Chain A
Amino acid sequence: MAATTESTATPPGELKIVQDATCTFCGCVCDDIDLTVQDNHITEAKRACVLGKAWFLNHSIEDRPSCLVDGKPATLEAGYDRAAQILTTGKYPIIYGLSDSPCEAQRVAVSIVDWINGTIDTTTSVCHGPSGMAFQGVGEVTCSLGEVANRGDLIMFWGSNPAESHPRHFTKYSLMPKGMFLPNGRKDRTCVIVDVRRTKSAKAADIFVQIKPRADFEGLWTLRALAKGIDLDPKVVLRDTGVELAVWTDLMARMKAAKFGVIFFGMGVTMTRGKHANSEALLALTRDMNAYTRFVAKPNRGHGNVTGADNVVAWRTGYPFGVNHSRGYPRFNPGEYTTSDTLANGEADCGMTIACDPMANFSQPARQHLSSIPYIALDTKETPTTRAAAVAFTVATYGINTGGTVYRMDDVPIPLRPAFDSPHPSDFEVLTQIERRVKKIVGITS
């Protein structure tokens, strides 16, 4: 963790340029951003998109106490003590979030949950958790974004709107780059977008397929049938998918003719009725296509290090999210150990949220329960979740104030290059201090 403690201070008034800084706002994790920094403020973020600019230019030092206990300013030491006490007195402690923290901090969070026989879950469970379940059932035919840039000649987006969620996806990785086997860039590629609404991304498509809402599963199985040469009834296909059979047949012909096909899929697939069955259908279609040509699928991941969270939790526990340690060993069961469930079912009796905002993003029953139990919240800014926390830590922002490692959406690890120091502690420091106290309380250390 040397990188997280390295000083990045500049004398007052002096300009500093940080080259190839990493934007962690979305899963594209662009690591080619040149930042201009003056007086603890980023004044320019070259090459960043609209979301990346908002991310960098709005991060100044938060004028808030680093620690609040029961809503009142407190010392960090008092906060660490209270946090450790909360986590060790409950019967069903949960730790949730982690997708906007570096891997080094995520690793400490998993250790804490192990010491307290708790349940750990990440925001994956409410974004591509269903895809994580599908990976286990079907497997994942995959590749890096570099391969997409150099080889992908048929690029499909299914239930994903990168124009608004991952604005540099098209230009940096999937549509515009001139690649090794695509010397003319965009002209050498065909872009297909499948969605229930004509999103801002649809403008980028050569072919836009507007399916009926809640018909992703039917659309994907239509393609699976066509891939195998099975005859389908046009009336049934139109009724079930909202799209003419001729459109699906044409699409399948293009998919078979492609040299390197890619399906990027988003939460239109995972958040809609069917969930993991939708993801399974998409991954199975991708696998089927490899009988004819090279085809891969990639979930478009949202948060900057949600992919890191999957990796860290998986390499520490064997499972990617929703992991319970109450029997002293890890057990995985989405729907039981995932945070939407442990909260909405009223099972968790204390917890810790790290870089996430369940008090704004969860269902009403889940929020109600969270507000009734003692919990610790780590965030860079004030949120509805930090406001209701028993202990709230204001932490330094990863990638802007602290270093470390994040995983891009294609599982490629990327180092962070911080721009300026923060007076607030990092997630890693807070979690390490809490872990030290937890270990003492549970008798691991004296």
Chain B
Amino acid sequence: MPETFILIPGRTSDQGCGISEGKFLEKYQREINTLQVPPGDMARLGLVDGDRVRLTGEDGQVVEVNITPAKKDELPEGMLFIAYGDISSRLMGGDTHGSGMPTSKGMDVRLEKV
């Protein structure tokens, strides 16, 4: 049964460095394709580091990513984090609600183990 989380995409050091080093290189690709999950939620859902999960966005967009536990206290339970990049952008909707800015942080996503 998929569970709903709030996803916060954001900047990380490795993602920022990866832009300059090369977007097609491993460091950048690894960073933008890894989802951080609160350790408490991982334990509750029986997930382990490196598992692959499916995320479904508010408009039905589907992506798959590997997970890693978030550092202690960095994320409250119920919240996910991923570095800005291809995956986070795919989960944004096309509608900007008249602002020019698609909702790009704090989106609802449904998570289930692949």
Given A197-B74, A361-B84, A363-B94, CB of A164 within 8 Å of CB of B8: no
Q: Are the CB atoms of A197 and B76 closer together than 8 Å?
A: yes
Q: Write out, one digit per residue, whether chain A residues 47-89 have a CB within 8 A of any chain B CB (1) or not (0).
A: 0001100110011000000000000000000000000000000
CB distance from B66 to the nearest CB of A (A): 19
Interface-central residue, B21, B22, B105, by most chain A CB under 10 Å: B105
Q: Are the CB atoms of B105 and A272 closer together than 8 Å?
A: yes
Return chain A residues, CB-CB under 8 Å to B81: 197
Q: In the complex, what distance in Å separates the CA atom of A382 from the CA atom of B10?
A: 23
The verdict on A423 contacting chain B, using a C-beta distance below 8 Å, is no
Q: Are the CB atoms of B106 and A360 closer together than 8 Å?
A: no
Return chain A residues, CB-CB under 8 Å to B24: 382
Q: Are the CB atoms of B100 and A164 closer together than 8 Å?
A: no
Q: Are the CB atoms of A164 and B94 closer together than 8 Å?
A: no
Q: Are the CB atoms of B99 and A276 closer together than 8 Å?
A: yes
Q: Write out, one digit per residue, whether chain B residues 9-26 have a CB within 8 A of any chain A CB (1) or not (0).
A: 011110011111111100
Q: Are the CB atoms of A344 and B95 closer together than 8 Å?
A: yes
Chain B positions 76-112 with a Cβ under 8 Å from a chain A Cβ: 76, 79, 81, 84-86, 89-90, 92-106
Say which residue of B8, B17, B101, B104 sits within 8 Å of A213 (CB atoms).
Answer: B8
The verdict on A185 contacting chain B, using a C-beta distance below 8 Å, is no
Q: What total of chain A residues lie within 8 Å of the partner, measured CB to CB?
A: 58
Q: Are the CB atoms of A210 and B76 closer together than 8 Å?
A: yes
Return chain A residues, CB-CB under 8 Å to B101: 125-126, 129-130, 270-271, 275, 334, 338, 340
CB distance from B22 to the nearest CB of A (A): 7
Chain B positions 5-55 with a Cβ under 8 Å from a chain A Cβ: 6, 8, 10-13, 16-24
The verdict on B75 contacting chain A, using a C-beta distance below 8 Å, is yes
CB distance from B81 to the nearest CB of A (A): 7
Closest chain B residue to A369, Cβ basis: B94
Q: Are the CB atoms of B20 and A59 closer together than 8 Å?
A: yes
Closest chain A residue to B93, Cβ basis: A363
Say which residue of B19, B73, B89 sits within 8 Å of A198 (CB atoms).
Answer: B73
Return chain B residues, CB-CB under 8 Å to A321: 100
Chain B positions 47-74 with a Cβ under 8 Å from a chain A Cβ: 61, 73-74
Return chain A residues, CB-CB under 8 Å to B13: 50-51, 164, 167
The verdict on A290 contacting chain B, using a C-beta distance below 8 Å, is no
Q: Are the CB atoms of B6 and A213 closer together than 8 Å?
A: yes
Interface-central residue, A58, A270, A336, by most chain B CB under 10 Å: A58
Return chain A residues, CB-CB under 8 Å to B94: 340, 344-345, 363-366
Interface-central residue, B90, B95, B96, by most chain A CB under 10 Å: B96
B residues whose Cβ falls under 8 Å from a Cβ of A: 6, 8, 10-13, 16-24, 61, 73-76, 79, 81, 84-86, 89-90, 92-106
Given A129-B100, A196-B79, A360-B86, 7 more pairs with CB closer than 8 A: A50-B17, A55-B20, A198-B74, A302-B11, A344-B95, A344-B102, A362-B92
Contact sample, A vs B, 21 pairs, CB 8 Å cutoff: A25-B16, A25-B20, A54-B18, A125-B100, A164-B11, A165-B11, A167-B13, A197-B81, A214-B106, A270-B101, A276-B99, A334-B96, A334-B98, A335-B98, A344-B102, A360-B85, A362-B89, A363-B93, A363-B102, A364-B89, A364-B90
